[in-house]
């Protein structure tokens, strides 16, 4: 059992752990940080607050929904299939007599679905939290009905549109948290390569590029939307989920014993949604309740001009939806 009393020594130990990658992203890292900093129960009462959790029917998303419900929030969780969303919402509600949880149909890769969901959500009294979790890593090249590559649409473009549509309905101090991935460290932001074509498509790369773009988007938007909206991105580490099993079967076979549980992967998103991250700079990137660097690989850093170009591109591609 670690017993490091000095905050400086704890920070040094955490920095060394972060540099190992495997140790940091695995359940070893989560356990070590729990001993260093205490990743215990979240001290927050979310009674009367409403949260939206996209992709909330399984894996990390369901763990986020359950965690927020346990803190008293009224959670709306989404799925591409309404029946599935309602089924899981009922399961969560049945497990706690005081739970408030409902399901909503939402496909974050479909503009029409996003606009319909946003219209439904704007009928609620308030929205205090948005947890962007929906999306999947797919090995096969797919496009939306509008012709955009599916991974990019569902992880980046659709969630951006949804956030814009709901911005006017967010309460002051609302928290918007984006679930990125440690895979984003392998890619830089390059608009010319952001949307992959069928002839060169590789699922893991498309996923990592979309996740990198999420982080850069949040870095740009968060200071501009603060303090009315508190926005951060984070990654969950390596988590044993159905998505990893289906999208990265070889990776799961090798790393299975050290993968995190969905609850461990969800912890930082729940904590950020509940607390806003305290005094951390707007748009910080988090793992295990602590801000992290967004760059490991030389040449993968982005500047403000690139981020602005990304936002301008997002405005352009979502324009057909916003003008009706």
Residues taking part in catalysis:
207
Beta-carbon contacts of 219 under 8 Å, excluding residues fewer than 6 positions away, are: 233, 283, 285, 294, 302, 307
- The CB density around residue 292, as the number of other CB atoms within 10 Å, is 18
Parallel/antiparallel/unpaired status of strands 285-287 and 229-234 = parallel
- CA distance readout (Å), 4 to 13, 36, 293: 9, 7, 23
Q: Alpha helices of the chain — where are they, by DSSP H?
A: 7-19, 22-25, 27-37, 59-70, 82-95, 111-121, 150-152, 158-167, 191-194, 203-225, 242-247, 249-255, 262-275, 304-322
CA separation for the pair 322, 318 (Å, rounded): 7
List of long-range contacts for 31-34, beta carbons under 8 Å, 24+ apart: 32/2, 33/288, 33/289, 33/290
Q: What angle do CA 208, 214, 219 make, to 5 degrees?
A: 130
Largest CA distance in the chain: 59
CA separation for the pair 118, 253 (Å, rounded): 39
């Amino acid at each position: 059992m670690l017993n490091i009393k000095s905050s400086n020594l704890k920070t040094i130990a955490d920095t060394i752990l972060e540099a190992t990658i495997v140790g940091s992203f695995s359940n070893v890292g989560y356990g070590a940080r729990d001993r260093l900093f205490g990743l215990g129960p979240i001290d927050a009462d979310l009674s009367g607050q409403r949260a939206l959790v996209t992709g909330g029917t399984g894996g990390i998303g369901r763990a986020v929904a359950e965690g927020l419900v346990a803190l008293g929030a009224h959670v709306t969780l989404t799925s591409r299939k309404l029946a599935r969303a309602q089924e899981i919402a009922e399961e969560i509600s049945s497990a706690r007599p005081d739970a408030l949880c409902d399901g909503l149909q939402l496909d974050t890769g479909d503009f029409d679905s996003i606009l319909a969901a946003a219209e439904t959500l704007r009928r609620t009294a308030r929205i205090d939290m948005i947890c962007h979790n929906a999306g999947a890593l797919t090995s096969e090249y797919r496009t939306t009905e509008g012709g955009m590559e599916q991974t990019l649409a569902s992880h980046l473009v659709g969630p951006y549109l949804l956030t814009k549509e709901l911005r006017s309905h967010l309460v002051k101090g609302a928290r918007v948290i984006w679930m990125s991935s440690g895979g984003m460290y392998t890619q830089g932001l390059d608009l010319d390569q952001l949307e992959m074509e069928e002839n060169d498509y590789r699922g893991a790369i498309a996923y990592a590029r979309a996740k990198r773009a999420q982080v850069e988007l949040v870095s740009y938007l968060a200071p501009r939307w603060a303090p009315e909206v508190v926005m951060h991105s984070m990654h969950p580490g390596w988590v044993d989920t159905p998505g990893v099993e289906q999208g990265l079967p070889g990776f799961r076979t090798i790393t299975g014993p050290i993968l995190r549980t969905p609850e461990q992967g969800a912890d930082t998103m729940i904590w950020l949604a509940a607390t806003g991250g305290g005094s951390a700079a707007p748009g910080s990137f988090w793992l295990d309740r602590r801000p992290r660097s967004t760059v490991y690989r030389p040449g993968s850093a982005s500047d403000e001009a690139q981020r602005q170009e990304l936002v301008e591109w997002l405005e352009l591609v979502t324009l057909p939806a916003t003008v009706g």
